[in-house]
């Protein structure tokens, strides 16, 4: 295949550049007129980059881009009218007006993610490429980011993973020589970004990002490599920014002479002239294109102007696949009654139940795959949760990863966006901190930001080593509250083997991102578990012990303390009802309220730090909804306000225990 632009292609590239420039100008016109009011990142100077790559991509090739996005999204084929409508927050916009200028999505044209988080698209792009590689589709993914983004950790993780797995992705670093108010030279000692490619073991190339012929030629090589299974390329396109960082931003930090020179060499005008000079096109033909583009922009504006703002019902739509899963008072999660087969007395441990669920999910659906650190045999995971599975299903479907949590979660997100159901292991929940952006800003929000056009059906397994002694402050936390504060995440915390299996399978089936919290304290505790595949629905609390005097609500390993306390209380004649919440989101508040309505007393017990913990949220909701039937204030018992200490005596004092639960319950009975 020739890497030179044909005459026809070159004129097509010009048309795309003209459409980009006109869209960018129309948005800036709206901003200058005060009709639009938001922070806008113009793309002037960078038009040639995606315009010259576009002829090499099909509609079903995928792209992941950033907030400075208009050039990328127009080139990928999204109708301009949907872009303008999104700028005005209209229901006809790419994301129904719910994404805005930094979050356009158009999966029909392969535009999968536009992120406002610098560098965060790279792991997701790698994940989409992983999905396409596993499908054997021959499709390629392009991922745009800036020169500033090249210094972000997530980009490093993604480049390494993409090279390691030879993923079909082209990383397009659009080096516009500035990152906000900081120049390229002030950000790195690297002379070029492409030069880093060698260190990752991938191809790298640096081109003049204002020259369509050069960009097209380099992109032809990169895309051919990707389609041929020869792995990723880091393609750096250098194109001086023609304006400040955002609309209205000052330009004082930019070299005035270079800026003036770059403006004088405006790539769109220059390419237009070049087409004429080289005999590729007549002035009249280009003028006709310009006129068509002007008309298209006017039509797009009229389309946006005549479109409606989103309906009020859109506020809650697209947080989850189902509005009923939003944890608001009075909304009961809708679910099918659990039909759990008989266990016939078969007992296995919690950890084995997890392994069995993964095994059954892998067997039932070839779209399920596992990824994470050390999950392959012979290790089979640090607590053997995945033991035997890579041997049984192969290393494509049970894949060990480098120690790159952002890349692991990003890879899961990306693959899930193209039809897979990844189950990623983040080993210990404390490590979620290093990939929180992927979880909270991306997995949780992509459905909403895309107006429901994309979804992220992933399961993230995380383990806490709390209260088993010796793991200390960074391996023992219970962080459900961090996740609960981010709309869009489901949070599941089983306390026993049967729930662990049935809820893990429910998470894998679920259309939304699920955080599956495993507890080391429970791992080696046996329980009755049916052998067949079954589901325990999310959002359905269980009454672990019925009672009449006081309701104790707990989940995960703290359930062990709650149940032990209930036994002690029973000896004292206090009949506690113990509710295992099982999932934090969706939240089965109705079951809690029904119980508290009966007992008049509520005590919430969890392993997480009490201060600011989920118990506070639940207590407030109980108080609001059940005030009339309460005989005592709602009480909480969580961990003390300290990092988890190492010394066993101190760790025991830090975490709630049965004695503490008993003491609190007694006090409530006297109130």
Partner 1 sequence: MAKMTLKLPKMATSMQNGTIVEWLVQPGDTVAQGQAIYVIETEKTSTEVESPFAGRITPLVAIGDLLPIGTPIAEIET
Ligand X SMILES: Cc1ncc(C[n+]2csc(CCOP(=O)(O)OP(=O)(O)O)c2C)c(N)n1
Across 622-664, the runs of DSSP E, i.e. the strands, are 635-639
Counting Cα atoms < 13 Å in the Cβ hemisphere of 170 gives 32
Cβ closest to ligand X, residue 156 vs residue 421: 156
C-alpha triplet 373, 377, 380: angle, nearest 5°: 55
- Range 6-45, binding partner 1 (CB under 8 A): 28-35, 37-39
Q: Which residues contact 64 (CB under 8 A, 6 or more apart)?
A: 112, 113, 114, 115, 121, 122, 124, 125, 128, 141, 142, 143, 144, 414
Q: Is 223 helix (H, G, I), strand (E, B) or coil?
A: helix
Shorter beta-carbon distance to ligand X: residue 183 or 322: 183
Supply the minimum distance, in Å, between the C-beta of residue 177 and ligand X.
8
Least Å distance, CB 437 to ligand X, is 7
Q: Residue 619 and residue 239: Cα distance in Å, rounded? A: 56
181 binds partner 1 (CB under 8 A): no
Dist CA 447 CA 515 (whole Å): 16
Binder of ligand X out of 147, 499, 512, 577 (CB under 6 A): 147
Q: Which stretch binds ligand X (CB under 6 A): 114-122, 331-339, 351-359, 620-628?
A: 114-122
CB of 634: closest distance to partner 1 in angstroms? 41
Selection from partner 1, ligand X, none that 151 binds (CB < 5 to 8 A by kind) is none
* Closest to ligand X by CB, 196 or 397: 196
Q: How many angstroms separate the Cα of 34 from the Cα of each of 22, 25, 345?
A: 18, 14, 70
CA distance 458 to 513: 5
Of 241-249, 385-393, 576-584, 609-617, the window that binds partner 1 (rule: CB under 8 A) is 241-249
Helix (H) or strand (E) holding 578: strand 576-580
Question: Using the rule CB under 6 A, which residue among 12, 79, 107, 116 binds ligand X?
Answer: 116
CB closer to partner 1 out of 247 and 523: 247
Query: Quick one: what does residue 34 bind among ligand X, partner 1, none, with the CB cut-off 5 to 8 Å set by partner type?
Result: partner 1
* Minimum distance from residue 250 beta carbon to partner 1 (Å): 6
Q: Does 157 bind ligand X (CB under 6 A)?
A: no
Residue pair 36/98 in contact by the 8 Å Cβ criterion: no
CB of 247 to partner 1, least distance (A): 8
Of residues 39 and 266, the one with the C-beta less far from partner 1: 39
Distance between CA atoms of residues 313 and 310, nearest Å:
8
Given the residues 475, 577, 606, 651, the one annotated as active site: 475
The per-residue DSSP string of 360-394 comes to HHHHH-TTEEEEETT-STTTTSTTSTTTTHHHHH-
By CB under 6 A, is residue 96 in contact with ligand X? no
The least CB distance from residue 556 to partner 1, in Å, is 41
Q: Which is nearer to ligand X, 118 or 424 (CB)?
A: 118
Q: Within positions 238 to 277, which residues make up the interface with ligand X, using CB under 6 A?
A: none
Contacts of 537 (CB under 8 A, 6+ apart): 333, 335, 336, 338, 506
Helix (H) or strand (E) holding 171: strand 169-175
According to the binding rule CB under 6 A, does residue 446 interact with ligand X? no
Smaller CB separation from ligand X, 148 or 422? 148
The answer to whether 232 and 168 have CB atoms below 8 angstroms apart is yes
Contacts (CB under 6 A) with ligand X, residues 47-86? 68
Selected from 88, 171, 178, 387, the binder of ligand X by CB under 6 A is 178
Q: Which is nearer to ligand X, 116 or 526 (CB)?
A: 116
Q: Which does 147 bind (CB under 5 to 8 A by kind): partner 1, ligand X, none?
A: ligand X
> Can you tell me whether residue 221 is helix, strand or coil?
helix
Cβ distance 62 to 128 under 8 Å? yes
CA dist., res. 314 & res. 91, Å (int): 9
In the complex, the smallest distance separating the C-beta of residue 253 from partner 1, rounded to whole angstroms, is: 12
Q: How many residues bind partner 1 (CB under 8 A)?
A: 16
Q: Which of residues 246-285 bind partner 1 (CB under 8 A)?
A: 246-250
10 Å CB burial of residue 11 (0-12, 13-18, 19+) is: middle
Binder to ligand X among 6, 29, 32, 180 (CB under 6 A)?
180
In the numeric block, the tokens 């189950």 are attached to 423
Among ligand X, partner 1, none, the one that 181 touches (CB under a kind-dependent 5 to 8 A) is none
Q: Please choose, out of 90-98, 100-108, 244-252, 623-631, the segment that lies near partner 1 by the rule CB under 8 A.
A: 244-252
- Give the binding range for ligand X (CB under 6 A) out of 52-60, 115-123, 448-456, 615-623: 115-123
- Per CB under 6 A, which region of 140-148, 249-257, 323-331, 500-508 contacts ligand X? 140-148
Q: Does 24 bind ligand X (CB under 6 A)?
A: no
* Sites for partner 1 among residues 204-233 (CB under 8 A): none
Give the C-alpha separation, 444 to 273, whole Å. 47
Rank residues 126 and 389 by Cβ distance to ligand X and give the closer one: 126
DSSP secondary structure string, 89-129? Answer: T-TTSTTTTSS-TT---BGGGTEEEEESSTTTHHHHHHHHH
DSSP string, 294-343: HHHHHHHHHHHHTSPPPPGGGTTTTSSSSGGGS--TT-PPP-PPP-PPP-
Residue 280 binds which of partner 1, ligand X, none (CB < 5-8 A, kind-dependent): none
CA angle 604, 600, 663 (to 5 degrees): 50
Q: Which residue is nearest to ligand X (CB)?
A: 146
Residue 29 CB, nearest approach to partner 1 (Å): 4
CB closer to ligand X out of 254 and 319: 254
Is there a catalytic annotation at residue 531? no
Q: How far is the CB of 448 from partner 1 (least distance, A)?
A: 22
What residues pair up with 639 in beta bridges, in sequence order? 609
Among the listed residues 405, 425, 480, 651, the single catalytic one is 405
- Does the CA dihedral 646-647-653-658 come out positive or negative? positive
Identify whether the C-beta of residue 94 lies closer than 8 Å to the C-beta of residue 53. no
- CB nearer ligand X, residue 39 or residue 568: 39
How many C-beta neighbours within 10 Å does residue 526 have? 15
Evaluate whether 412 touches 422 at the Cβ level (below 8 Å). Answer: yes
Residue 373 catalytic? no
Stretch of 171-179, 249-257, 282-290, 484-492 lying at the interface with ligand X (CB under 6 A) = 171-179
CB 214 within 8 A of CB 207: yes
In angstroms, what CA-CA distances link 395 with 187, 307, 349? 39, 50, 25
Q: Among 44, 148, 410, 488, which residue sits at the site for ligand X (rule: CB under 6 A)?
A: 148
The residues of the shown chain that bind ligand X, judged by CB under 6 A, are 68, 116-118, 145-149, 176, 178-180
The residues of the shown chain that bind partner 1, judged by CB under 8 A, are 28-35, 37-39, 246-250
Residue positions annotated with a catalytic role: 405, 475
């Amino acid at each position: 295949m020739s890497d030179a632009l044909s005459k026809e292609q070159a004129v097509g590239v010009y048309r795309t550049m003209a459409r980009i420039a006109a869209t960018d100008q129309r948005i800036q016109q709206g901003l200058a007129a005060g009709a639009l009011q938001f922070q806008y990142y113009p793309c002037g100077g960078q038009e040639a980059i995606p315009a010259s790559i576009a002829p090499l991509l099909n509609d079903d090739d995928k792209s992941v881009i950033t907030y400075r996005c208009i050039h990328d999204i127009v080139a990928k084929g999204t109708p301009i009218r949907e872009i303008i409508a999104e700028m005005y927050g209209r229901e006809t916009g790419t994301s129904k007006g719910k994404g805005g200028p930094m979050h356009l999505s158009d999966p029909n044209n392969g535009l999968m993610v536009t992120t406002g988080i610098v560098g965060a698209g790279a792991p997701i792009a790698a994940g989409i490429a992983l999905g396409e590689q596993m499908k054997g589709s021959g499709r390629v993914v392009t991922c745009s980011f800036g020169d500033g983004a090249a210094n972000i950790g997530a980009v490093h993780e993604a480049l390494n993973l993409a090279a390691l797995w030879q993923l079909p992705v082209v990383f397009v670093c659009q080096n516009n020589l500035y990152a906000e108010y900081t120049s390229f030279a002030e950000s790195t000692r690297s002379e070029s970004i492409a030069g880093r490619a060698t260190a990752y073991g991938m191809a790298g190339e640096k081109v003049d990002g204002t020259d369509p012929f050069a960009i097209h030629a380099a992109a032809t090589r990169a895309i051919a490599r990707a389609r041929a299974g020869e792995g990723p390329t880091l393609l750096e396109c250098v194109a001086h920014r023609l304006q400040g960082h955002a609309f209205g931003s000052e330009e004082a930090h930019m070299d005035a002479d270079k800026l003036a020179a770059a403006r004088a060499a405006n790539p769109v005008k220059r390419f237009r002239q070049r087409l004429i000079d080289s005999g590729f096109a007549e002035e009249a033909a280009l003028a006709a294109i310009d006129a068509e583009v002007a008309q298209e922009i006017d039509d797009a504006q009229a389309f946006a102007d005549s479109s409606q703002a989103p309906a009020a019902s859109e506020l809650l739509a697209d947080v989850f696949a189902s509005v009923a899963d939003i944890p608001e008072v009075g909304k009961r999660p809708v679910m099918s009654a659990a039909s759990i087969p008989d266990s016939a007395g078969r007992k296995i441990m919690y950890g084995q139940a997890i392994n069995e669920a993964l095994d059954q999910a892998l067997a039932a659906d070839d779209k399920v795959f596992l990824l994470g650190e050390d999950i392959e045999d012979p290790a089979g995971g640090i607590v053997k949760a995945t033991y035997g599975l890579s041997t049984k299903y192969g290393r494509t479907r049970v894949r060990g990863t480098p120690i790159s949590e952002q890349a692991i979660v990003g890879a899961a997100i990306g693959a899930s966006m193209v039809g897979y159901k990844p189950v990623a292991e983040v080993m210990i929940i404390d490590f979620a901190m290093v990939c929180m952006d992927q979880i909270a800003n991306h997995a949780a929000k992509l459905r909403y930001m895309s107006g429901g056009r994309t979804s992220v059906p992933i399961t993230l397994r995380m383990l806490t080593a709390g209260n088993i002694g010796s793991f200390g402050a960074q391996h023992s936390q219970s962080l459900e509250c961090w996740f609960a504060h981010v709309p869009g995440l489901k949070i599941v915390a089983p306390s026993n083997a049967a729930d662990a299996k049935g809820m893990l399978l429910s998470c894998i089936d679920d259309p939304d991102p699920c955080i599956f919290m495993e507890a080391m304290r429970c791992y080696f505790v046996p329980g009755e578990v049916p052998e067949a595949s079954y589901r325990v629905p999310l959002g359905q609390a269980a009454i672990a012990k019925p009672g009449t005097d006081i309701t104790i609500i707990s989940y995960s390993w703290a359930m062990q303390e709650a149940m032990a306390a209930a036994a002690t209380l029973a000896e004292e004649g206090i009949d506690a009802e113990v509710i295992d919440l099982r999932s934090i989101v969706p939240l089965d508040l109705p079951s809690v309220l029904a119980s508290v309505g009966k007992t008049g007393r509520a005590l919430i017990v969890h392993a997480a730090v009490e201060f600011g913990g989920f118990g506070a949220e639940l207590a407030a909701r109980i108080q609001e909804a059940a005030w009339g039937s309460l005989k005592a204030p709602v009480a909480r018992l969580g961990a003390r306000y300290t990092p988890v200490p190492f010394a066993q005596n101190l760790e025991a004092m830090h975490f709630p225990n049965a004695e503490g639960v008993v003491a609190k319950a007694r006090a409530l009975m006297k109130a």
